[in-house]
Amino acid sequence: MRKVRNKKVIDKISYKSFRANRTRNVIAIIAIALTAMLFTTLFTVGIGTAENFQRQTMRQAGGDSHGVFKNITEEQYEKLSRHPLVKESADNRLVANTVENPEFLKRHMEIWYYPKNFYGHHFIEIIDGKAPEKAEEVLVDETSLKLLGMKAKAGQQITLLLKIREGQEPVERTFRISGVIRSDPALDVGFTVVSKAYLAEHQEELQYTYDQDTSPVGAIRMEIVFQNSQGIQEKLDKVARESGYSTKEGEKNYIASNANWAYISESTSGDPMTVAAIAGVGFLIVLTGYLIIYNIFQISVMKDIRFYGLLKTIGTTGKQIKKIIRRQALLLSAIGIPCGLFVGFFVGKAIVPMLLSHTIAGNSDSAVSMNPWIFVGATVFALVTVFISAGKPAKLAAKVSPVEAVRYTEGKRQAKKQKKTTDGGKISRMALSNLGRNKGKTVIVIVSLSLAIVLLNSIFTFTNAFDMDKYLANFVSSDFVIANAKYFNSEYSARKEDLQESNLTESFIEACEEQEGFEKGGRIYAATDQVGVKISDYKIPKNMPVNENGELCWMWNGEKIPVTKLNEENYQTMYYGVDDFLFEKMEVYEGEKDLDVIKEKLATGNYLIYAVSTDDNGMVRKEDMVHHAGDKVTLSFPNGEEREVEILSVIKENYYGLSTRYSVIFPYYTTAEVFRKDLSEDYLMSYSFDVRDDREEAIQQFVKNYSEKTEPTMNYESKLKWSNEFESLKGMFTIIGCFLTFVVAVIGILNFINAILTSIVTRLRELAMLESIGMTKKQIIKMLTLEGIYYAGFTMISSVLIGMLMSVTILRVLTSQIWFMKYQFVIWPMLVTFPFLLVLGWLVPKAAYHFQGKKSMIEQLKNED
């Protein structure tokens, strides 16, 4: 077969045809831009969130180095740093166990030595001054200076109370601030950085003693950077072994190491719910984009089918016609996709902080880089969607024969058997018949409109399932909790030696009880180093793990960790004493449930309540239960007394309301009176209380001011705080969901407008014929508006059916998997949209005919295809 060089001709026909379809082009470009925008937004949010989470994880891990060798000597550091796999390393050191300044109680400070060349790896940004060089020079973060009442300026003097090692008296040292570093808003920790000269001047107090007392002060924390982040732990082990050290714990030359959490998280599989959510959004975008773009090209092809038929009569092949349509799709994409990429990136950039505001990265300065994969991924997905959408219409144009094309009428089928009827000429029936002329187009328009309505209803069903009572029950059991600031910073110690620094003051309690609106409250006492469970009398349950020595253990990261012992004969317990008010907040899982009976029996000192841990849904972790109701254990007290007690009830753990906020194996509860008799009233941990609803905000303002000005070592939490967080979380999902619904709705409306507009354009001659046989313009407009209303009616029916089915299946299952949600059937959002849908169905056909049907009947009839 002779090959004809007709590429330029095909290109020219494609371009001319493209210019002739201006209305189609505008709608298609908008549709492609919206689809590209959605893809870009999805990629921006996904990649931006991942970047921020990784950056935040690095900050929490202490830096972006790949791994660390912990608590090593200078000699070990020198050997390890010479290994060829090590690209960069730093000999970081903690130079004091704690900084004891009272201003740092609610936001504690750490004091470290970091090599200057490693500042960047620790995200140290000097905003004023320079790095320290002399022994008396330091870097201090700006927030810590603010807490001390100082300005964020270099050159000032600062006095710090340093407790070098645990058990030692604090040492007062004065430094000169050589530079101020930017505070990390995500970390509630301050930092002071000393110079190399400081290590030399205080080398005696910074001697390595980790092998004697496990003190990290003076020991080197060796940060390592490799060539890449692949196989970090394997590289760390290889460096250790080839430097002459062991990686097996317990051996004499063992060195502990671990890979940076941020890089570990990259290699782990994503959360199934997150993956499913992203996949669902991606599918929704592809579907909505496909619906409109496919419909645009299908309608365009049907409109120009005679044109393609004429091309075939002069020898154009089906392959060349496909090429013409694909080239037009490419031209439309070249205009629409860049617009979508531009808008989508900035939309995604605005959404990322909203998403992160309720995560571990919520307090950090979120930033989204212009990662090229955002634009590459969005472009590829948008192009694929466009070419899939244009594929079927292109095949239709390529397969039609010249004769069929010239005689083609939308919806024309083989002749059917005639049916006699007396209402066939009714306008309403004619309008309904017109929808059935091209059932595929009608279905696509209805589906695209229904999709937006179903999505809107789903968003409101999802957010309506947010149950504040379930959410608050996980965090609060009363209106207010007051305690020492260390309690809320997870630094609370229930040990006798730390009572003065960690406990709540009676003066704070009295101040709260004097407030108007105070109703009732109760104290919680806690001690962790006073009461033990006698090991010899305790029978380990079958569900609890034991090690090779038969010792009771608990599981951590797949490893068996022996339970902490008070001494050789006793397991350590957390012994609580609570006032009557707190018994009302307990949820009994097993055993005695009558509160009066519980309080009466506990008062004898021969009974205890045991708390078992629960999951996010409040379900008891049976594998963690060390007691059942009726079990008997022997308690050992500081005065040498041993007392056999019975587990009266098992309650569900109330982590935020009734505990020290760290988990233990043996948490026991008795009455406050019994506790004080067994130990003393010095172990006062916290005080919970309720207030009148109308005084809640006023009392919150009072405790805020009191804890900031009168007793700054005290702090509080309130139900209002968690309520505000809940509303913010709910609002975030609502805003993002409504934005997505809005875009899908715009696509659906564009699809509807395009379908109506092109339907009228392709039928102008037909409408003129109807007018020539006596049909008035008013009747034609009525027929067209009825078509639009039928579209709206079928959309409402399909929306209700699909929406209800989706609600009782997918959404019911989804909300049941989230602990603070309670499914409720919702249909009102769909009902609200229906009047607007009817108005749209009436208005669009009327407006379209007004603009397209301006020519007279004679002029329309004279038009030749």
Q: Are the C-beta atoms of residues 685 and 526 closer than 8 Å to each other?
A: yes
pLDDT-above-70 percentage for the chain: 82
Structure tokens at 564: 């902490």
Any domain includes 818: no
Q: Are the C-beta atoms of residues 39 and 386 closer than 8 Å to each other?
A: no
Residue corresponding to tokens 């001390």: 148
Claim to verify: residue 47 and residue 158 sit in the same structural domain: no
- Give yes or no for residue 233 having a pLDDT over 50: yes
Q: What's the CA gap between 474 and 617, in Å, rounded?
A: 9
Claim to verify: residue 521 and residue 592 sit in the same structural domain: yes
Claim to verify: residue 113 and residue 54 sit in the same structural domain: no
pLDDT at 634: 93
pLDDT at 414: 46
Claim to verify: residue 167 and residue 306 sit in the same structural domain: no
pLDDT at 686: 94
Any domain includes 464: no
pLDDT-derived band at 197, boundaries 50, 70, 90: very high
Claim to verify: residue 25 and residue 72 sit in the same structural domain: no
Any domain includes 702: yes
Claim to verify: residue 394 and residue 271 sit in the same structural domain: yes
**355, 382, 408: which is the final residue of a domain?**
408
pLDDT-derived band at 388, boundaries 50, 70, 90: confident
pLDDT-derived band at 387, boundaries 50, 70, 90: confident
* 481/353: higher pLDDT: 481
Residues 416-425 have pLDDT tens digits of 455 555 555 6
Helix, strand, coil percent values for the chain (each to nearest 5): 50, 20, 30
Domain that holds residue 605: 480-716
Q: What is the mean pLDDT of residues 797-809?
A: 88
**Which residues partner with 363 through β-bridges?**
none
pLDDT at 1: 40
Claim to verify: residue 575 and residue 599 sit in the same structural domain: yes
Q: What's the CA gap between 110 and 162, in Å, rounded?
A: 10
pLDDT at 360: 47
pLDDT at 84: 93
Claim to verify: residue 192 and residue 294 sit in the same structural domain: no
- Give yes or no for residue 361 having a pLDDT over 60: no
pLDDT at 269: 43
Q: What is the mean pLDDT of residues 364-393?
A: 78
Residues 647-694 have pLDDT tens digits of 999 999 988 888 888 878 899 999 999 999 999 999 999 999 999 999
DSSP 2: P
Any domain includes 274: yes
Mean pLDDT of the chain: 82
Any domain includes 677: yes
**698, 716, 734: which is the final residue of a domain?**
716
| Highest-confidence segment of 39-43, 690-694, 758-762 | 690-694
- Sequence-ordered strand ranges (E) for 454-606: 480-484, 518-527, 532-534, 553-556, 559-562, 565-567, 570-572, 574-578, 588-591
**260, 281, 315: which is the final residue of a domain?**
260
Any domain includes 829: no
Residues 625-637 have pLDDT tens digits of 899 999 999 999 9
pLDDT at 93: 94
Any domain includes 321: yes
pLDDT-above-90 percentage for the chain: 31
SS (H, E, C) 506-534: HHHHHHHHCCCCEEEEEEEEEECCCCEEE
SS3 label, residue 459: helix
Claim to verify: residue 326 and residue 346 sit in the same structural domain: yes
* 302/530: higher pLDDT: 530
Claim to verify: residue 559 and residue 690 sit in the same structural domain: yes
**Which residues partner with 89 through β-bridges?**
224
Claim to verify: residue 57 and residue 74 sit in the same structural domain: no
Any domain includes 571: yes
How many domains does the structure of the chain reveal? 3
Claim to verify: residue 549 and residue 665 sit in the same structural domain: yes
pTM for the predicted model, two decimal places: 0.64
